[in-house]
A and B are shown apart, each in its own frame.
Chain A
């Protein structure tokens, strides 16, 4: 049984920088591999609907006739399955998280 075992750790902490990030005053530390959100290069999309079929939560809706690609960001679990199956590789996993939203809107991308 010992006393003051933590004294060393406490003294070290006094002279050390805080372990936490001073966000929003300091930079946000994001790993380059972080699964933040799905982004699409709509000009290369062929609207095959593979991502819609494979999406485990049904967050993606693709219409071939109107050439739209629709994602419900609040349903998306950023598993990256759509990125994996995309035949044209036009889907990308970005390490940036989406901004907070006040309404449950969906992001619509259209190939004009």
Chain B
């Protein structure tokens, strides 16, 4: 029998942008068990809901995560609006959807860059982030911030995008598509990338469902489940189908995200063509009273906001179930059987966002 060794992985590790700790039980070079532990950056943001009134809390919700910040704010707003039975103007719904898709694009490009970095393809990492910068420029030109949009508010949005800008965004994204394809083709076709990704960390269809995986991790295992299909914001008016891959390995998870990039460009084009004129917000009166579960699709998967209000201006309870939290069990299942050198790649394939997870 081979000797077992325990290798600590993280919380500080060159490949990890954020702190997660894994105790890897190894037999020679093979992982036989992985024990995760989190809790390094818990900030207690959910508790803050008792100190900030329900309108101000949007700013805190946006700061739960630095990548899907807008969708966090949006989901919080949806939860409060549903409690207060507010119907958001249609234009606001469309703008929210456009910003959601832009944030999905920048998140996926960020992930692709980090992935290339994790398997040692530095130049690909640089090129992916060069492409990401163009999306960030669009975001900055429409919201004023590169990462924190501060655009969602309870009752609508805080900024409008005029129709000329929308047209130019949609047009520039069309030409952006060709440039992007050049980079994504490298991920899909290059032999050195395939060597590191194909067949690594297979999550079978049944396993993915049982472990409660969400987002691209779930869709790469053959499930056509996408929370956007619930039709929140303006997704009900948009024609799209969830991207599904069946092999369930790291390569499939990469391909799902790449296809979603192009899908997002298509969704933005549809939205820019359909967006109606009108007000972008409505005035809020009174305080929320009741409870609601809001579910939206973040770049990493489904996020759930549970909000409970008691008629005062402070919410009573807020609970956030983030996609990374749901994907950690799948990660723990993926790791056994892989070699130690593949662990960084596998940890990254679920697109971990630990700030989200610990809030």
By a beta-carbon cutoff of 8 Å, the part of chain A in contact with chain B is 1-3, 5-6, 8-10, 13, 19, 31, 33-35, 54, 56, 77-81, 84, 93
Cβ–Cβ contact B144 & A93, under 8 A: yes
The listed residue with most B CB atoms (<10 A of its CB), out of A3, A78, A79, is A79
Contact A35/B150 with A5-B189, A19-B130, A56-B56 known, Cβ cut-off 8 Å? yes
A79 to B144, CA, bound (A): 9
A-binding segment of B4-12, B80-88, B98-106, B179-187 = B179-187
Instruction: Tell me if B186 and A5 are in contact (CB < 8 A).
Output: yes
Interface of A is mostly: loop
B139 to chain A, nearest CB (A): 9
> How many interface residues does B have (CB within 8 Å)?
27
What's the least CB distance linking B303 to chain A, in Å?
21
Contacts of A31 in B (CB 8 A): 137, 140-141, 144
Q: A33-B140, A35-B145 are in contact. Are A5 and B158 (CB under 8 A)?
A: no
Partner among A3, A5, A10, A84 whose Cβ is within 8 Å of the Cβ of B123: A10
Instruction: Tell me if A6 and B158 are in contact (CB < 8 A).
Output: no
Q: Are A2 and B189 in contact (CB under 8 A)?
A: yes
Q: Is B117 an interface residue (CB 8 A)?
A: no
Is there an interface contact between B144 and A56, defined as CB atoms closer than 8 Å? no
Contact of A2 among B137, B144, B145, B191 (CB under 8 A): B191
Inter-subunit contact A54/B158 (CB<8 Å): no
> Cβ of A6 and Cβ of B191 under 8 Å apart?
no
B133 touches A19 (CB 8 A): yes
What's the nearest-Cβ distance from chain B to residue A52, in Å?
Answer: 13
The complex places the Cα of A43 from the Cα of B186 at a distance, in Å, of 58
Structural contact, B144 and A9, CB atoms closer than 8 A? no
